[in-house]
Amino acid sequence: TLGRLHKRSAHYFVPESFMLKTITRTIDRLLWLVAHFGALAMTALVLITVYDVLTRYFGIPKFAGLNSTMLQESEFWAHTVLFATFLGFALVKQAHVRIDLVRDTLPTRVKYFVEMAGLLFLLMPFSVFGIIYSLPYVARSFATNEISSSTVGLSNVWLLKGMLLVMFCSLFFAGLSQLLKCIDGLLGNLNEAEEQTVIGGGHE
């Protein structure tokens, strides 16, 4: 009887598993879309680099209005977009390197608590501070119509700096997704495959 009462009372205070999974899947889908947009930057980076090499060493003429400085800065921009858009998606896919000297020896439930502590006290506050301090940085660049330090470089530098906001927002939502998955895992609602996407394993 006590067990039944406990389960009934828990029902009113703990979110249903499908609700948590709906939220986390929505966040993960958003991060997937952001990352796939970033994947276009990888294609652009390759094409721009090849074009830059061809025009520099093989005498192929540049398009009207382009110069070597613009091409090199474009490579830098593409690399920035790629890096900023993939960080959050990589987190939910356990693609970041883990150095688990102690945690791997702990019970599964303890691993969840360690993961939650890292998300709550390190990753998510770091992301919030990053957003707070990046906003005026980007706004100032936009307000002053900042251009490249080179007179023949690219303009609209605020777009490049704005990728800081994309990066920190992606990290925050990735951390939120992982936090909710930890709660779901502690409730026993994750299978083994889902568990690996939360507390992960070592990298071979």
Length of the chain: 204
* CA distance linking residue 174 with residue 198, whole number of Å: 11
Residue 201's pLDDT is: 59
Identify the burial level of 20 via C-beta atoms within 10 angstroms of its C-beta, where 0-12 means exposed, 13-18 middle and 19 or more buried: buried
Structure confidence at residue 16 as a pLDDT band (50, 70, 90): low
**What pLDDT does 151 receive?**
86
64 or 153, higher pLDDT: 153
Q: Which tokens go with 180?
A: 């909710």
pLDDT for res 31: 98
Please tell me the predicted confidence (pLDDT) of residue 202.
Answer: 46
pTM of the model: 0.86
What's the pLDDT score for residue 200?
79
- Where along the chain do its domains lie? 2-196
Q: Summarize pLDDT for 49-86 with one digit per residue, the tens.
A: 999 999 988 888 888 788 999 999 999 999 999 999 99
Output the average pLDDT for the chain.
Answer: 89
At 169, the amino acid letter reads C
- Please write the tens of the pLDDT for every residue from 99-108: 778 888 899 9
